[in-house]
Amino acid sequence: MKIKAKLKKKNTNKWDDDYYTKLARKENYPARSVYKLKEIDKKFKIFKKGFFILDLGCSPGSWLKYASEKTGEKGFVAGVDLNTSKIINEKNIVVLKGDIFDSEIVENLCSMGLFDVVMSDMAPKTTGCRHTDCARSCALAEASLDISFKTLKKGGIFITKIFQGGDFDSFAQTILSFFEKRKIFKPESCRKNSREIYIIGMGKK
């Protein structure tokens, strides 16, 4: 019985020592997700010094931290999340605690002015049901896109995570209606069995 208990505990933490998790600890990022954004930035040249950036669902703060580093002291990074307790404070970062589906939160984001980049790495709580999980992921992506309509300047860039399946194709097509270019990209740092993929809208019309 003791052996089984130990094996179960070890399996529960199977991701704790993967390459990107170790690298995140070494480079002082809150989570391994930062390397997905780094890959996106390297491939599509997203960030510039002085950019204003909005991070939707920003906890635990890896994307915020990277965006802060890239935009520099003259730039500004805003984030919003239901849980802000673990986020590292930086001089050019402001974080709102709240729900992106809350109209008051959206109004507060709009009052900050227009952003050069709006990005979301949000994912739903998974149920194990592919249809349900894809639908919930698409709902988050659609909400993020809706916020980008209100907060992204002309020519700006939109990045969102979304699960493949369900309404993915329809959502991807929608991006072309509002942006000059659309890129679909799966970073190498995504887990091999993950359905997540990233859609990048470039050049808001």
Give a yes or no: residue 75 inside a domain. Answer: yes
Residue 115 belongs to a domain: yes
Q: Is residue 21 part of a domain?
A: no
Q: Is residue 90 part of a domain?
A: yes
Domain assignment present for 6 = no
pLDDT score, position 166: 85
Task: Assign residue 48 the CATH number of its domain.
Answer: 3.40.50.150
Domain count, the chain: 1
Residue 90 pLDDT grade (very low, low, confident, very high; cuts 50, 70, 90): confident
Does the CA dihedral 93-97-100-105 come out positive or negative? negative
Q: Whole domain around residue 59: which residue ranges?
A: 30-204
pLDDT number for residue 9? 43
Mean pLDDT of 54-75: 96
Confidence band, pLDDT 50/70/90 cuts, at residue 3 = very low
Domain assignment present for residue 8? The answer is no
Total-model pTM: 0.90
Note whether residue 151 is domain-resident. Answer: yes
As a residue count, the chain comes to 205
Residue 113 predicted with pLDDT over 60: yes
| Residues designated as active site | 161
